[in-house]
Structure 1
């Protein structure tokens, strides 16, 4: 079968690999679509970062080279022994986490922050292929009203939904999202879907601002307006009830710290290739804080799929599909250059 195999920084190959064999407790999926994640871009242009290099991952036993892809949907084509939760023909989204189930984090219910966490597609051969084998416990059935294209977006939208919850905002509050890439768009959808009407999206790129404005978002251009002052004006001087960093750059962090209100959180959901500085005195003087957000839980997946079933998520203007053969030029390179926002790889196109 054809697959997109990562061999190291700048070395991504579309090649033939052996079709994986299903085992007990597992299922084989014919992959519908696989999204290229920001984490995949970091691996290709600056990695290996999370992909094991030189020592196998403790839970999966795998290291590079391996097939990428952790944002994917598919159709069950084979069921291993002992699997009763799904059947052949079921359409599913995949929650691609490998966890130990033994560490304190897993024991307290925070399995998304497992001390040995692994990802299908980063620490194990993933879904950027024609077929992949996953544990049945990773699967979430898709209702008839949710397409396989949308199913491949459940993973990044669940990342955003989990972060949105950690901000602890509710109807009547004001939230500010920094960055209008896929996670920023997901945050806007999640906040709106949970009843937060006052949401500002801060984005310097005219293209990205235009894309999210077409969805109905209110944007702020940090190159032309004073974002903290604009938010204070909109909130009677108190500042945002929560800010979310989905940009991962120093300017966004600096502005977000100045935007969030006293005692309120800045939720960090970006991947940082380089260390960033934070003016801690600003946090101390306002008793505000930075809250990390990692991955998602099954509850987040179920919430996103339910919102999708009601048509809440709109992909107009920011998502497109490509063939596997075009994954480097039309996928990784185009995304890195800012020419595209979200790309789904369609294995059926070769």
Structure 2
């Protein structure tokens, strides 16, 4: 079968590799679509970062590895002992390996497992014609949710988890900084939670146009005094929650200037450079910074249910490419900003 194999920075090979066989409590998946994640970009241009160069504690695998942790597909084979699933079932994959016995796992917070692993970063992943996963990663897709949408469940669950941590309610004012895929996912999630007053702050005209086409209200921070506008529109109260999906210092500073008293800034970005946090602003407002990592099964279920209700629309920001185009139309296009979200179709 064909697969995108990672050998190091700038070295991803479309190779012919053996098809995997499912072991006990595993299933074999014919991959329908696999999204290229921002993490994959970091690995391609500056890795290995998360990809393991020594055998991982939970998977035993190390690079070279098949990439891909945002994917959906159809079950084609059941391993020994598998019950509750059938050949032909359409599924989205929650690609987390967890130990089950560390403090966070025992508390039910397996998304911050101390030995956490990702299918496609710490094991061979879904940017291939077939992959094998344990059954605890499976989420059934309703007939109304396409495999393309199914491949978006993973990044949309990242955003949904962050949206939940902001503790917003109907009638609240929320702000999203960054209109990339996670920022778009935050907007969808907040809408799904009943919010109407959502401001998306994004300096890129291309990204603003993409999310505006979905119905979002945007602000260009290069031409608008964002904190002043928010203060005016909220009668000085500030936003009830702000979300940083940009990962750059100016966005963080502006977000903290907009957040209301005793309200959170939820950080769901990867920060490539150290930040200087204006702690006095937090002290004077009794505001807080809340980190957000990954998702749980509950987030997956919530996103899939919202997708079935038609909340998520991939129009205008999601592209599909063939496996052989992964480098030029995938990594390079995303890095250059000419595309926003790319799904790889292993059958093409």
User: How far is 1:85 from its partner?
Assistant: 2.0
Q: Is 2:152 the partner of 1:150?
A: no
Distance (Å, rounded) in 2 between the aligned partners of 1:32 and 1:221: 37
Distance (Å, rounded) in 2 between the aligned partners of 1:263 and 1:206: 32
Q: Which runs of 4+ in 1 moved over 3 A?
A: none
What does residue 109 of structure 1 align with?
A: 108
What does residue 82 of structure 2 align with?
A: 83
What does residue 34 of structure 2 align with?
A: 34
User: Do 1:42 and 1:273's aligned partners in 2 also have CA atoms closer than 8 Å?
Assistant: no
What does residue 285 of structure 1 align with?
A: 284
SS of the equivalent of 1:348 reads: coil
What does residue 210 of structure 1 align with?
A: 209
- Please show how residues 186-335 of structure 1 align to structure 2 within 5 Å: 186-335=185-334
1:1-58 deviation line (CA, Å, top 9, x unaligned): 10001111111111111111110000000000000001111111111111112x2111
Distance (Å, rounded) in 2 between the aligned partners of 1:232 and 1:124: 47
What does residue 119 of structure 1 align with?
A: 118
What does residue 340 of structure 1 align with?
A: 339
Q: Is 2:18 the partner of 1:18?
A: yes
What does residue 44 of structure 1 align with?
A: 44
Distance (Å, rounded) in 2 between the aligned partners of 1:251 and 1:289: 18
What does residue 173 of structure 1 align with?
A: 172
Moved more, 266-275 or 217-226: 266-275
Distance (Å, rounded) in 2 between the aligned partners of 1:13 and 1:283: 47
1:262-311 deviation line (CA, Å, top 9, x unaligned): 11110000112222221111111111111000000110000000000011
User: Do 1:25 and 1:135's aligned partners in 2 also have CA atoms closer than 8 Å?
Assistant: yes
User: How far is 1:143 from its partner?
Assistant: 0.5
Distance (Å, rounded) in 2 between the aligned partners of 1:57 and 1:145: 37
SS of the equivalent of 2:50 reads: coil
Distance (Å, rounded) in 1 between the aligned partners of 2:302 and 2:12: 34
User: How far is 1:161 from its partner?
Assistant: 0.3
Moved more, 14-23 or 321-330: 14-23
Q: Is 2:3 the partner of 1:3?
A: yes
Distance (Å, rounded) in 2 between the aligned partners of 1:85 and 1:122: 27
Distance (Å, rounded) in 2 between the aligned partners of 1:124 and 1:45: 20
Q: Give the TM-score of the pair, scaled to structure 1.
A: 0.98
User: How far is 1:234 from its partner?
Assistant: 1.3
Distance (Å, rounded) in 1 between the aligned partners of 2:244 and 2:257: 13
Structure 2: any 5+ residue segments left out of the alignment?
none
1:99-148 deviation line (CA, Å, top 9, x unaligned): 00000100101001101000000100000000000001100010100000
Q: How many equivalent residue pairs?
A: 348
SS of the equivalent of 2:331 reads: helix
SS of the equivalent of 2:347 reads: helix
What does residue 67 of structure 1 align with?
A: 66
1:53-107 deviation line (CA, Å, top 9, x unaligned): 2x21111111111000000000000001111121000000000000000001001
User: Do 1:85 and 1:136's aligned partners in 2 also have CA atoms closer than 8 Å?
Assistant: no
Q: Give the TM-score of the pair, scaled to structure 2.
A: 0.99
User: How far is 1:318 from its partner?
Assistant: 0.2
